């Protein structure tokens, strides 16, 4: 072939990667791999095969982790954790720095093993995955060094259980282990059953670096091994990356255990192309969005939404580009699309695509060899309700749908239960930023896609999970602040409600009926019942007996207050200041109410005064709880924006009924959320007295809704409601377990504690923790200085 022909066709020659060193390493372990526990490799146990998906050949034999193996790993981690946490930040940083350096020194071995084990192209393993692995350890070595200065008072959780997926085996290990170790935790990690080899190579690197015994433990195995880690009482925090279905199971199984939990789950990310976009660049963006790693990426741009005016031209360009993609041997450096990780995954992709085609979708496919491969696929004539538009395929399959207006694009983008990422393409950056603010996703890429860095948080909204990995917010996930709460507490269990008439109601005033407060109006309970509110000596009033329908109405009212979240922090602050002013003007009335409920006058006055002070503190924070500009890649500015979560269900503590309610409502609405509050079951009148304060403080109707009644019954309804985006529950331990179990339905964020675990009048009742719980971080990647 002549040089002229090569330049005309731009065809690549064969460029195979040498795998002899990796094969030699595998041959050295031909008798099988054990686990890495307490600083050494154990003898192999019952073995299972790990195979090269490209050639369907056995690579190695790996041990199936048992309950005994997990017990030994957790015991080693528990024993090592106090001494590891006592090391200075500088000492921990030195260990992390050593890991980063040795990963670089063994980078080619790790890249080749990753490709052999997972089927991803060597170009991606070599140029993307392994450099990012080293970057994470370097970045978190820095966090270990400065942690005491940047996050004073915070301490490690203890022992972390970590379960990682097969699509980015070593990178996911780095995402989990690096921040955990930097914070002073020890870890027990389970790699994916299909791709354990780089984790085992990392274990040998940890030995080579002299990592103290028990700090890192790696147990291989299948789902049963993972279940043993999830259910182990010696685990203090769990971090999981994988499917939404398994994430939901983990939420249910850990309910009531007290384990901290972060979940990074599935996605169905939109790739939005406006009419003025650079279409050639956007086509290359699609290549990176969906055919990178064979589409086996949780944040893959698997739904193209393209402006109707350029849809035909864009499809033509994309189909032409598909013809040039090289699908084949992952060890060839010229390969664009490698092998699917396992025949089970290949079968799933085929089944979903066949189902979509049978429903009328049109398939446009590139070529692919026989074996564990699937051709790059573009699907047109697909409806938004098609299974190909709604289900995470986790393969090289992308749908194309048109839109006419920006609002149509937003509606289509948000028409999913997921919320992990979105990519937006337009020469009008103002338009991109406007759309980015409206799309419900944790990561927004503007005129780019699939850009990652250790300095920026990664994680999603809705059923894409909760928590972040990377950046400052990722470090916080591996720390706790023990000063915020006095202890675990026992929690309070309310007495049964009395719904019949009372013997007498102690009152010297005209009778006031305490109704529910929904949509800015007082409302009678759907049940038609009231229940007795008792003071220290007698019944002091009646409160409405709320039920499921009342919660439904309150959630509906809260969901309609979109303008509150869009208001500036300054405007929200003015309303909170006004609430404080009006509460102060009626301080005597609220003090009398608290006295009537059984408090002494001095305590009642102190509670009211603290509630007023809290109004002003959160008003001050409304326009000061800022995001950040992360230091990531030179050609981007990465904005970390604190966004409201949406509709919050709040279940207030029983004691200090005014202060408890105020302490939950204020941070939530200061950050732009709307709330449904279940006040103290025993003493709800202190909260219902707030109606008139809210009405006279310019608080828009529906921002705060109050439903009185049986605490745990109402909490269960809130936790199970798909229209509630997060729930805070302060009650007893059985209630905590119930709320966390019910929240698994739509994987809403949950914050549960015994209601006597913190001092509501002191530091534990106020602080940045409440603001962090009331927000979720959206990271926006914007080209900068290119």
Within this chain, do residues 706 and 564 fall inside the same structural domain, yes or no? yes
Q: State how far the Cα of 14 lies from the Cα of 26, in Å rounded to an integer.
A: 25
Tell me which of 343-352, 498-507, 716-725 is least confident: 498-507
Look over the chain and give the mean of its residue pLDDT values, rounded to a whole number. Answer: 94
- Is 290 inside any structural domain? no
Q: What is the pLDDT of residue 536?
A: 78
Residue 304 has pLDDT above 80, yes or no: yes
Please answer whether residues 220 and 63 qualify as being in contact, where contact means their C-beta atoms are separated by less than 8 angstroms.
yes
Q: What is the pLDDT of residue 598?
A: 84
Cβ neighbours, 10 Å, residue 57: 10
Q: Across-strand partners of 647?
A: 674
Within this chain, do residues 235 and 322 fall inside the same structural domain, yes or no? no
- Of 459, 462, 461, nearest in space to 470 by CA: 459
Q: What is the pLDDT of residue 768?
A: 92
C-alpha gyration radius of the chain: 28
DSSP for residue 216: E
Q: What is the pLDDT of residue 498?
A: 85
DSSP for residue 506: -
Q: What is the pLDDT of residue 761?
A: 93
61 three-class SS = strand
Q: How confident is the model at residue 486 (pLDDT cuts 50, 70, 90)?
A: low
Helix, strand, coil percent values for the chain (each to nearest 5) = 45, 20, 35
Q: What are 52-107's pLDDT values in tens digits?
A: 999 999 999 999 999 999 999 999 999 999 999 999 999 999 999 999 999 999 99
Q: What are 502-552's pLDDT values in tens digits?
A: 776 665 555 667 899 999 999 999 999 999 998 877 888 899 999 999 999
632 three-class SS = coil
Q: State how far the Cα of 289 lies from the Cα of 283, in Å rounded to an integer.
A: 10
- Is 457 inside any structural domain? no
706 three-class SS = strand
Could you confirm whether 17 is annotated as catalytic?
Answer: no
CA 194 to chain centre: 24
Within this chain, do residues 250 and 275 fall inside the same structural domain, yes or no? no
Q: What is the pLDDT of residue 287?
A: 97
Rounded to an integer, the average pLDDT of 211-225 is 97
Rounded to an integer, the average pLDDT of 562-587 is 96
Within this chain, do residues 215 and 310 fall inside the same structural domain, yes or no? no
Q: What is the pLDDT of residue 634?
A: 85
- Is 61 inside any structural domain? no
- CB-based contacts of 375: which residues, under 8 Å, 6+ apart? 327, 365, 366, 367, 368, 396
DSSP for residue 332: B
Residue 142 has pLDDT above 80, yes or no: yes
Within this chain, do residues 663 and 555 fall inside the same structural domain, yes or no? yes
Within this chain, do residues 346 and 376 fall inside the same structural domain, yes or no? yes
- Is 590 inside any structural domain? yes
Q: What are 627-638's pLDDT values in tens digits?
A: 999 989 889 999
Q: In 465-568, which residue ranges form alpha helices assigned H by DSSP?
A: 471-476, 548-559, 562-566
Q: What is the pLDDT of residue 512?
A: 67
- CB-based contacts of 631: which residues, under 8 Å, 6+ apart? 455
Q: How confident is the model at residue 563 (pLDDT cuts 50, 70, 90)?
A: very high
Q: How confident is the model at residue 561 (pLDDT cuts 50, 70, 90)?
A: very high
Q: Are strands 57-63 and 47-52 parallel, antiparallel or unpaired?
A: antiparallel
Range 712-715 contact pairs with CB under 8 angstroms and sequence separation of 24 or more:
712/738, 713/547, 714/546, 714/547, 714/551, 714/651, 714/678, 715/649, 715/651, 715/678, 715/739
Within this chain, do residues 237 and 306 fall inside the same structural domain, yes or no? no
Q: State how far the Cα of 201 lies from the Cα of 339, in Å rounded to an integer.
A: 22
Residue 125 has pLDDT above 90, yes or no: yes
Q: What is the pLDDT of residue 696?
A: 95
Per the structure, how many domains does the chain have?
Answer: 3
- Of 377, 409, 385, 411, nearest in space to 309 by CA: 409
46 three-class SS = coil
How would DSSP label each residue in 153-191?
Answer: T-EE-SEEEEE--SSSHHHHHHHHHHHHHHHT-EEEEE-
Sign (positive or negative) of CA dihedral 373, 377, 383, 384? positive
Q: State how far the Cα of 614 lies from the Cα of 628, in Å rounded to an integer.
A: 25
CA 536 to chain centre: 44
Within this chain, do residues 364 and 432 fall inside the same structural domain, yes or no? yes
Q: What is the pLDDT of residue 2?
A: 73
Question: pTM here?
Answer: 0.94
> Distances from the Cα of 538 to the Cαs of 49, 499, 686, in angstroms?
72, 15, 16
Within this chain, do residues 252 and 275 fall inside the same structural domain, yes or no? no
- Is 400 inside any structural domain? yes
Please indicate whether residue 631 or residue 235 has the higher confidence score (pLDDT): 235
Within this chain, do residues 80 and 132 fall inside the same structural domain, yes or no? yes
Residue 369 has pLDDT above 60, yes or no: yes
Q: What are 658-683's pLDDT values in tens digits?
A: 999 999 999 999 999 999 999 999 99
Expressed as residue numbers, the domain containing 707 is 501-783
Within this chain, do residues 650 and 715 fall inside the same structural domain, yes or no? yes
- Is 15 inside any structural domain? no
Choose the catalytic residue: 114, 124, 145, 264.
264
Longest dimension (CA), the chain: 104
Q: Looking at residue 435, which CATH number applies to its domain?
A: 3.40.309.10
Q: What are 595-612's pLDDT values in tens digits?
A: 988 878 999 999 999 999
How big is the chain, counted in residues? 786
- Is 12 inside any structural domain? no
| 442 Rama sector, left if φ>0, alpha if ψ -120 to 50, beta otherwise | alpha
Q: State how far the Cα of 627 lies from the Cα of 616, in Å rounded to an integer.
A: 21
Cβ neighbours, 10 Å, residue 674: 26
Please give the structure tokens belonging to residue 91: 């000492």
Q: What is the pLDDT of residue 621?
A: 97
Q: State how far the Cα of 706 lies from the Cα of 679, in Å rounded to an integer.
A: 7
Q: How confident is the model at residue 15 (pLDDT cuts 50, 70, 90)?
A: confident
Residue 364 has pLDDT above 60, yes or no: yes
Please give the structure tokens belonging to residue 120: 């991803």
How would DSSP label each residue in 430-491?
Answer: HHHHHHHHHS--SEEEES--S---TTS-B--SGGGEE--BSHHHHHHTTEE-GGG-S-----
Q: What is the pLDDT of residue 4?
A: 76
Within this chain, do residues 184 and 88 fall inside the same structural domain, yes or no? yes
- Is 286 inside any structural domain? no
Please give the structure tokens belonging to residue 226: 């993972």
The Cα angle at residue 310 between residues 307 and 311, in degrees rounded to 5: 75
Q: What is the pLDDT of residue 129?
A: 97
Q: Looking at residue 694, which CATH number applies to its domain?
A: 3.40.605.10
């Amino acid at each position: 072939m002549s040089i002229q022909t090569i330049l005309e066709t731009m065809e690549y020659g064969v460029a195979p990667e040498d795998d002899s060193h990796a094969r030699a390493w595998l041959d050295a372990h031909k008798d099988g791999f054990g686990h890495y526990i307490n600083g050494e490799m154990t003898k192999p146990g019952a073995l299972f095969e790990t195979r090269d998906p490209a050639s369907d050949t056995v690579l190695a034999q790996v041990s199936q982790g048992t309950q005994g193996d997990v017990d030994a790993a957790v015991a080693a981690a528990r024993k090592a954790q106090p001494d590891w946490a006592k090391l200075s930040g500088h000492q921990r940083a030195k260990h992390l720095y050593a890991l980063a350096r040795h990963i670089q020194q063994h980078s080619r071995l790790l890249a080749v093993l990753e490709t052999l084990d997972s089927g991803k192209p060597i170009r991606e393993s070599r140029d993307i995955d392994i450099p990012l692995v080293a970057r994470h350890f370097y970045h978190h070595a820095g966090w270990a060094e400065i942690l005491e200065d940047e996050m004073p008072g915070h301490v490690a959780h203890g022992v972390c259980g970590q379960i990682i997926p097969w699509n980015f085996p070593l990178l996911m290990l780095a995402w989990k282990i690096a921040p955990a170790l930097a914070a002073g935790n020890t870890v027990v990690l389970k790699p994916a059953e299909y791709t354990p080899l780089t984790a085992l190579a990392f274990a040998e690197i940890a030995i080579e670096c002299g990592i103290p015994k028990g700090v890192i433990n790696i147990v291989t195995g299948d789902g049963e091994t993972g279940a043993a880690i999830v259910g182990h009482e010696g685990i203090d925090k769990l971090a999981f990356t994988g499917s939404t279905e398994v994430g939901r199971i983990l939420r249910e199984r850990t309910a009531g255990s007290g384990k901290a939990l972060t979940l990074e789950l599935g996605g169905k990310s939109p790739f939005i192309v406006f009419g003025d976009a650079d279409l050639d660049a956007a086509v290359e963006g699609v290549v990176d969005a969906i055919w990178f790693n064979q589409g086996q990426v949780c944040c893959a741009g698997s739904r193209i939404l393209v402006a109707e005016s350029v849809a035909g031209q864009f499809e033509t360009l994309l189909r032409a580009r598909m013809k040039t993609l090289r699908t084949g041997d992952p060890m060839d450096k010229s390969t664009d699309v490698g092998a699917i990780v396992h025949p089970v995954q290949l079968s799933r992709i085929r089944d979903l695509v066949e189902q979509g085609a049978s429903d009328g979708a049109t398939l446009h496919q590139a070529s692919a060899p026989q074996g564990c491969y699937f051709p790059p696929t573009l699907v047109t004539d697909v409806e938004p309700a098609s299974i190909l538009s709604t289900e995470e395929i986790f393969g090289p399959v992308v749908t194309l749908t048109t839109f006419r207006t920006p609002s149509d694009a937003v509606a289509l983008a948000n028409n999913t239960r997921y919320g992990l990422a979105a990519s937006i393409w337009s020469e009008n950056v103002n338009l991109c930023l406007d759309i980015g603010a409206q799309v419900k996703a944790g990561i927004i890429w503007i005129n780019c896609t699939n850009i990652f860095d250790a300095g920026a948080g990664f994680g999603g909204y809705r059923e894409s999970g909760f928590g972040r990995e990377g950046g400052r917010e990722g470090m916080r996930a591996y720390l706790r602040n023990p000063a915020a709460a006095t202890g675990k507490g026992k929690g309070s269990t309310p007495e049964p409600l009395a719904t019949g008439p009372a013997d007498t109601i102690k009152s010297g005033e005209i009778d006031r009926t305490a109704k529910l407060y929904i949509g800015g109006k007082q409302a009678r309970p759907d049940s038609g019942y009231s229940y007795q509110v008792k003071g220290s000596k007698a019944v002091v009033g009646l409160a409405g007996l709320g039920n499921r329908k009342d919660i439904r109405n309150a959630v509906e009212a809260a969901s309609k207050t979109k303008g509150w979240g869009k208001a500036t922090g300054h405007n929200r602050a003015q309303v909170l200041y006004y609430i404080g002013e009006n509460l102060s003007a009626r301080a005597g009335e609220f003090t009398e109410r608290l006295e009537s409920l059984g408090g002494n006058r001095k305590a009642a006055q102190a509670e009211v005064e603290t509630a007023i002070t809290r109004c002003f503190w959160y008003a001050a924070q409304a326009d000061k709880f800022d995001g950040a500009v992360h230091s990531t890649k030179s050609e981007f500015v990465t904005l970390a924006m604190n966004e409201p979560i949406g509709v919050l269900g709040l279940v207030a503590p029983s004691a200090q009924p005014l202060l408890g309610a105020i302490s939950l409502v204020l941070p939530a609405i200061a950050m732009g959320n709307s709330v449904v509050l279940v006040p103290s079951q025993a003493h709800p009148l202190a909260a219902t007295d707030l109606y008139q304060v809210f009405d006279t403080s310019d608080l828009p109707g529906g921002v705060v809704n109050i439903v009185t009644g049986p605490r745990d019954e109402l909490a269960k309804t809130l936790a199970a409601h798909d229209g509630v985006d997060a729930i805070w529950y302060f009650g007893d331990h059985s209630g905590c377990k119930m709320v966390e179990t019910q929240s698994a339905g739509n994987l809403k964020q949950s914050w549960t504690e015994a209601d006597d675990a913190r001092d509501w009048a002191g530091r534990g009742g106020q602080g940045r923790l409440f603001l962090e719980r009331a927000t979720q971080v959206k990271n926006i990647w914007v080209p900068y200085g290119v």
